[in-house]
Structure 1
């Protein structure tokens, strides 16, 4: 039997009931986060929780629990499901009320749910690299909010899947923004480039870890957008997310990146990233 988070309780999966008039279901009116679990331990949980509350504030949604309480609930959920290596997903919606575009009265309680999944680290992707494709970024203009409204990202990811690619590299005009469910980085002449953290991208928690790793290994960082042409001319390309960690992109739309193999700086970043997570996972 599996367990889920439902508001302030850990319950059996079958006990969770979402009303047909939940605003998350009808409007995508809510936010979410995904936290990695290594060796039974939540990784960068506080950073994810901080972003969760920040996203909520940006859409004027009140979370009826303290950050400490939410952290405790997530820990209990991981323990209840005995997760080793995997992740925990959680979301909150603006609640259940008769369908109306206007926000419901403040007395309508938000609905918090969460679940876990056991899944191994994608080691083969780390070692061999993945393929990607360019897709026009048609999403809204507040990508800094981790909203449940993901249709633009879903369409981009499906296009990449249909082309046999791991990820879609999104671009507005000629400028690369991020991936459909990830952040994108290019390395050229010993400098790492990635789009600045503004409203056009989600400032990834893994992104922050990678930028710290870059500093620690002596890899200079420039947070500025690069173009599609520049992306193809990079010595190395990387995709990152909670589940992708530091994954090299070795081919984009049939064009090899660098020599078509994961690069030296990527390997160094992967090794430094590994030092941040529980050592038992690398044993």
Structure 2
């Protein structure tokens, strides 16, 4: 049984409770982060902490825990649950007022809810799917307009993953006004003529922590990067495609809407970026 963290307490998971009036439950009024763990250490923790602070600020939500204390909670959960490879999920909501109301509660009267739990995933780094790649479908992007805030509003991404599953594929790329925004829980990329192409940062996509690290490593490796929008048709004619996220790192894409990329196997760029990302991230792990 896992040990989880709820509002300052470490508890067995079956004893953890959150109020039925919590605004995360009633209004999806909350934000989250997922940090990967490799070799018992945290990957890109600083980046996740900075993005968490930004998400809270964008929603006018007070930060209920300091970065240093949050780091200690992450480390303690890794220790208590014996995690070598896996994930730590963090969620902060606006808290639980006395009753349901659309209006934000007075922050001086309601304390935000803080929840963390681990997911043990042995073999996370050596995921065999990375050697063969994944298949994606395209779906219309009908989410709200502030995708740069990492909120817990995940119903449509969940529906997108189910659409992909029903189509016999692994994931979905969302499309708005003819251009790919991102995957259901990841950033999307194509490779053409050796150039890595991914959508530019804006309110339209999540500012991925893994995305930032991968693009930095790519530039350091003298790879050309272009941040711009691209269509599904352009992706289908690309040399390669891939996604990045905290749970998949760099994952090749070998099929888009039934069209096979190249010979149907991962190319050279994505596997190399995955190798670089894992090597460099482990060196800087906390």
**TM-score category, normalised to shorter length:** over 0.9
Shift of 1:54: 0.7
For 1:101, the equivalent position in structure 2 comes to: 102
- What is the aligned counterpart of 1:221 among 216, 221, 225? 225
Secondary structure (helix, strand or coil) at the match of 1:123 reads: coil
Equivalence for 2:34: 34
Report what 1:176 is aligned to: 180
Q: Distance in 2 between matches of 1:105 and 1:15?
A: 28
Structure 2 distance, partners of 1:37, 1:114, is: 14
Residue among 120, 138, 151 paired with 1:147:
151
CA shift for structure 1 position 55: 0.3
Question: Runs of 5+ in structure 1 lacking a partner?
Answer: none
Deviation at 1:44, TM superposition (A): 0.6
Q: Once the two structures are superposed, what CA deviation does each residue of 1:259-280 show, in whole Å capped at 9, x if it has no partner?
A: 211011122212211212337x
SS in 1 for 2:128: helix
- Residue deviations 1:35-92 (CA, integer Å, cap 9, x gap): 0000110111111011111100000111222111111111111111110100000101
**Match of 1:198, SS?**
coil
Whether contact under 8 Å (1:10, 1:76) holds in the other structure is no
Q: What does 1:138-217 correspond to in 2, within 5 Å?
A: 138-217=142-221
What is the distance in 2 between the residues matched to 1:47 and 1:8?
A: 23
Q: Which residue of 2 aligns with 1:273?
A: 277
TM-score for the superposition, normalised by structure 1: 0.96
Which runs of at least 4 in structure 1 moved beyond 3 Å after TM superposition? none
Q: Secondary structure of the residue that 1:140 maps to in structure 2?
A: coil
Match of 1:10 in 2: 10
**In 2: Cα distance, 1:231 partner to 1:128 partner:** 18
Q: 2: distance between equivalents of 1:155 and 1:69?
A: 35
Consecutive unaligned residues in structure 2, runs of 5 or more: none
Write the deviation string for residues 6-32 of structure 1: whole angstroms up to 9, x where unpaired: 122222223311111110000000000
* 2:119 paired residue number: 117
CA distance in 1 between partners of 2:73 and 2:138 (Å) = 39
TM-score when normalising by structure 2:
0.95
C-alpha distance in structure 2 between counterparts of 1:189 and 1:261, whole Å: 17
Number of aligned residue pairs: give it: 280
CA contact (8 A) 2:44 2:281 kept: no
